[in-house]
Every structure is written in C-alpha cells, then in structure tokens.
Amino acid sequence: MKSSVIIFPGSNCDRDMDVALKKFGFDNQMVWHNDVKIPKSDLIVLPGGFSYGDYLRCGSIAGKSRIIKSVIDFANSGGLVLGICNGFQILTETGLLPGILQQNKYLNFICKNVFVKIKNKENKYFKKIKKEVLELHIAHNEGNYFCSNDELKSIEDNNQIAVTYCDHEGNDDEKNNPNGALKNIAGIFNKDKNILGMMPHPERMIDPFLSGEDGSLFFENLIESL
Amino acid sequence: MKVKVIVTLKNGVLDPQGKAIQQTLNGMAFNNVSEVRQGKYFDIEINESDESKAKSQVEEMCKKLLANLVIEDYKIL
C-alpha cells in the first residue's frame, strides 16, 4: 500500500508519521507542498505541525497551497485523506470537512494523553479496531471544534463524528472535554467517510516502551482495511 | 489604492481572548468595560484605480481567504 505525507513549511509531525506508516507496512513517500502532483497513493496524510506559522488562521494558508488542488481532487475521487491536528485544521479550511478548529476554550496549549471514544466503525479508519476507547496524545492550541447548528445536525444525521474526548470508560461528557470542542468532538469524517480529520496523534502512540500502543491499533487496522 | 478590511468573530461565537482582555481591563480598574471582542485588520494595497472593482475583488478575497465564514464576518471600510 502506498501512502504520501505532505510536508508544509512548519509541519513538525511529518517524520513521525513517516516512521509510523512504514512501521506498519506502508510504502510511504514525502511530498513537498510546492509540488503540483502527488505520486500514486492509496492514502494521503496531512501531518501535524504549524504550517506557515499558523498565520492568519491555522491551516488557512496551507489550504491554498499548490499541492492542495491534487489533495482535493484525490479526496473527491474517493481517495483516503487523513489529517492529524494541523492536518485536520487544513481539511476544514479547504472545505473538505465542515466546521473549524478554534482556539482552546481556556486559552492554553494542551499537551497530554487523552482517551477518545470511537463513534463510528463503518469506515476504513476504525473498522477492525476491537477497542471502543483509545488512549492517544494531543498537543494543540486550536482544537476547539466548532460548527453551526445546521452543520452539526447534518454531521450527526450522517454519522460523521469519528471520535470524541472521553474518560477511560468512554464517558464523553463535558467533564472530559479538554478544549471546549462542540459535543466533545475530537475527529470527524466527510459524508462518504473517506476523509478523516482528528486532533489526537496516533503516530505518537506506536511504541510500548515510549508511549503506548493504541496508535498501533489505528495503523494496523488502516493497512488491513485498504 | 488602499482597501481596509476588518474581520471579526460572529455574534455568539466564543472569543476567549476578548474575554481575557476584558477581565484584565476590569482588573486594571476599568470597571465599566462589559465586553471586548477581538478582531483582525487588513490594509490591502491593490493596483486598481476603479474603487468599485477594487472593493469587489477584496470582497472575493474576504470570502476565499481573509475570513472563515463559519465563525467570522468581514467589513470592507
């Protein structure tokens, strides 16, 4: 399976993602933001970081970069596009995913492990994961998901909520909401479920000695599902 | 010519920075400050002498890049 990770100036999780994808069997290639074409891929990843220094709004400049048209074409043709953290912000800025990631409610940069509840397994990203709750890492200043009431209704009606912040037992209530995100949303799909954006970093949880292994479950499922 | 744009958060959208500024002002004895909303200001120098053409171009810029209409409104001054 071939994957491509797009590097923007200011991306800083691109190499972690490269390591993770390769560890679980992807033939991964790195693609520069100023390129026009993406090599043949089964999966495109927009990595975490601070693309273009977060100027204007997080992800807004990357959302207009040269490579993005190819990402949008790939996504619209049904290709799998995964955006992690800043990648999620870029996906909302391109309009591939609804809503926006605002500044965290209490104005703090949050860097810690959290639990997320998988809300929908009828898709390639979570299909064969047996657990209902995953422990993943978050590190962001703008992870407070927001959208209009109409958009939220459409997201819920189409089962587009992918993961929500919760405790280790899967209680996704306000008490377990780290950043003020609407409905504890940590990640969402597009309607067709081929595009996933999420704030937590599965690529940081692939080593039992350093962090944890719930990210491994994510990548193992991904390579099996493709 | 120069076109000026102000981008602000829509009414009802949480503005934690504005809130922090308001609380700080209150703490500095500006007790009558009841709300602060923070926004962005753009000075755009555009090589176009026709004012209405320039403004309609800036309007497009606002919709496509300068503002995110999910949470922000823009005003061309």
> Cβ distance A135 to A170 under 8 Å?
no
> What is the bridge-based pairing of β-strands A161-166 and A110-118?
antiparallel
| Candidate list A85, A140, A147, A166, residue with the active-site label | A85
pLDDT at B48 over 90: yes
DSSP string, A126-172: TTT---SEEEEEEEES--EEE--HHHHHHHHHTT-EEEEEE-TT---
Yes or no, beta carbons of A100 and B68 under 8 Å apart: yes
Select from A57, A64, A107 the Cβ nearest to the Cβ of B20: A107
| Distance in Å, alpha carbon of A171 to nearest chain B alpha carbon | 25
Range of the domain at B37: 2-76
- Domains, chain A, ordered by start: 2-225 (3.40.50.880)
> Cβ distance A178 to A114 under 8 Å?
yes
pTM for the predicted model, two decimal places: 0.94
> What is the bridge-based pairing of β-strands A133-140 and A110-118?
antiparallel
pLDDT at B36 over 90: yes
Percent of chain B with pLDDT over 90: 91
pLDDT per residue as tens digits for the range B53-76: 999 999 999 999 999 999 999 999
> Cβ distance A147 to B13 under 8 Å?
no
pLDDT per residue as tens digits for the range A65-82: 999 999 999 999 999 999
Contacts with B17 from chain A: Cβ below 8 Å: 103, 107
pLDDT band at B14 (very low <50, low <70, confident <90, very high): confident
pLDDT per residue as tens digits for the range A23-48: 999 999 999 999 999 999 999 999 99
Contacts with B13 from chain A: Cβ below 8 Å: 102, 146
User: Would you call A203 a catalytic residue per the annotation?
Assistant: yes
Cα angle B4, B10, B11; round to 5: 125
pLDDT attached to residue A21: 98
Q: Counting Cβ atoms within 10 Å, is residue A150 exposed (0-12), middle (13-18) or buried (19+)?
A: exposed
Yes or no, beta carbons of B14 and A102 under 8 Å apart: yes
Distances (CA, A) of A65 to A38, A68, A90: 13, 6, 10
Count of domains forming chain B: 1
CB atoms within 10 A of CB A126: 25
pLDDT attached to residue A211: 87
Q: Domain of B54: which CATH number?
A: 3.30.1280.10
Any chain A CB within 8 A of the CB of B1? no
Q: Which chain B residue has its CA at the smallest distance from A105's CA?
A: B16
pLDDT at B16 over 90: no
Any chain B CB within 8 A of the CB of A147? yes
- Picking from A173, A109, A184, A99, the residue whose alpha carbon sits closest to that of residue A142 is A109
Query: H helices of chain A, where?
Result: 14-23, 68-76, 86-94, 149-157, 214-225
* HSE (side-chain half, CA atoms, 13 Å) at A8: 28
pLDDT band at A60 (very low <50, low <70, confident <90, very high): very high
pLDDT per residue as tens digits for the range A91-142: 999 999 999 999 999 989 999 999 999 999 999 999 999 999 999 999 999 9
Percent of chain A with pLDDT over 70: 100
